[in-house]
């Protein structure tokens, strides 16, 4: 699992700072999460192949999280894209994008599918044989979802020395990797745990932005491999959280602690702050494994 931060600042892009967008590579699937202004330029800088992006997840309809989407959709078309593109986001995202395509007479030559969201409860919105994606309902000034990406449990690993000792036919290998026991020709039952070791631990990633402090999400993301949680403000500006429905670095750390996350990644910084280390220092008072998101930074989770 690998995460690439394309942008991690709040409100407006600046010369060297970009608004929210990131690419998650999990179980060999590449997902684009949010699409702030200039996302396609950041994708090029980070050498992310456009053709690998087939699913885009938009958290909410504030401009710093989706103003780059129409440009990306249009560029895909100009480059002759043929692969379908699926966009998941709040109700209204289809109207916004299709109106721009209609008025500019720029309909795409590829399939453009919108999956509009309106539920206030977690729901499964994507699933294949390797990964699932669920919404994480958040608390912001407009309807907002975070997203939980989670690998499915993989196959068990064959212990070849043991398998060969029992002279098991190769035809059974696939079912053994799926956890099945084996009955030998003489009727002997060989338990699966004698023939295999456990599959690799399941990896998961929770994207939680934008939101006010919302402890109720911790049950859904319990034990997550990595949590990206917005930290717009430092505690000294906590009074701004209520009217804006944003969080502090301290509050993000408390969520990570309660969720028993393996790692906390802070982001969505207000541009009023010059020293981002202050965010890390504040969060580390409450949670140990804290990392700062930075434009262009990559995280690998082995």
Bridge partners of 265?
Answer: 228, 291
Instruction: Specify binding-site residues.
Output: 60, 62, 64-65, 140, 210, 268
Catalytic residue among 64, 84, 275, 302: 64
**For this structure, is 64 an active site residue?**
yes
Instruction: Specify binding-site residues for Zn(2+).
Output: 60, 62, 64-65, 140, 210, 268
Work out the widest C-alpha separation in the chain, in whole angstroms. Answer: 75
Catalytic residues: 64
């Amino acid at each position: 699992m690998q995460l690439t931060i394309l942008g991690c600042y709040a409100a407006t892009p600046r010369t060297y700072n970009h608004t929210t967008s990131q690419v998650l590579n999990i179980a060999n699937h590449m997902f684009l999460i949010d699409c702030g202004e200039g996302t396609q330029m950041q994708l090029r800088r980070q050498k992310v192949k456009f053709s690998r992006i087939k699913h885009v997840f938009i958290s909410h309809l504030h401009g710093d999280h989706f103003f780059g989407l129409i440009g990306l959709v249009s560029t895909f078309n100009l480059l002759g894209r043929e692969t379908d593109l699926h966009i998941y986001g709040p109700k209204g995202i289809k109207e916004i994008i299709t109106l721009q395509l209609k008025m500019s007479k720029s309909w795409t030559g590829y399939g453009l599918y919108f999956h509009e969201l309106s539920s206030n409860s977690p729901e499964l919105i994507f699933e294949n044989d390797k990964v699932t994606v669920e919404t994480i309902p958040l608390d912001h000034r407009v309807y907002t979802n975070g997203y939980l990406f989670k690998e499915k449990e993989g196959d068990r690993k064959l212990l070849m020395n043991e398998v060969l000792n029992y002279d098991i036919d190769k035809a059974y290998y696939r079912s053994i990797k799926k956890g099945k026991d084996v009955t030998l020709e003489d009727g002997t039952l060989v338990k699966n745990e004698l023939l295999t070791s456990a599959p690799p631990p399941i990896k998961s990633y929770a994207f939680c932005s934008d939101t006010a402090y919302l402890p109720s999400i911790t049950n859904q993301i319990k034990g997550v491999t990595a949590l990206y949680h917005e930290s717009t403000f430092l505690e000294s500006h906590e009074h701004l959280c209520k009217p804006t429905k944003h969080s502090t670095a301290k509050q993000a750390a408390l969520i990570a602690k309660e969720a028993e996350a393996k790692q906390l990644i802070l982001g969505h910084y207000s541009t009023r702050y010059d020293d981002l280390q202050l965010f890390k220092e504040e969060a580390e008072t409450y949670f140990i494994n804290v990392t700062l998101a930075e434009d262009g930074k990559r995280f690998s989770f082995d």
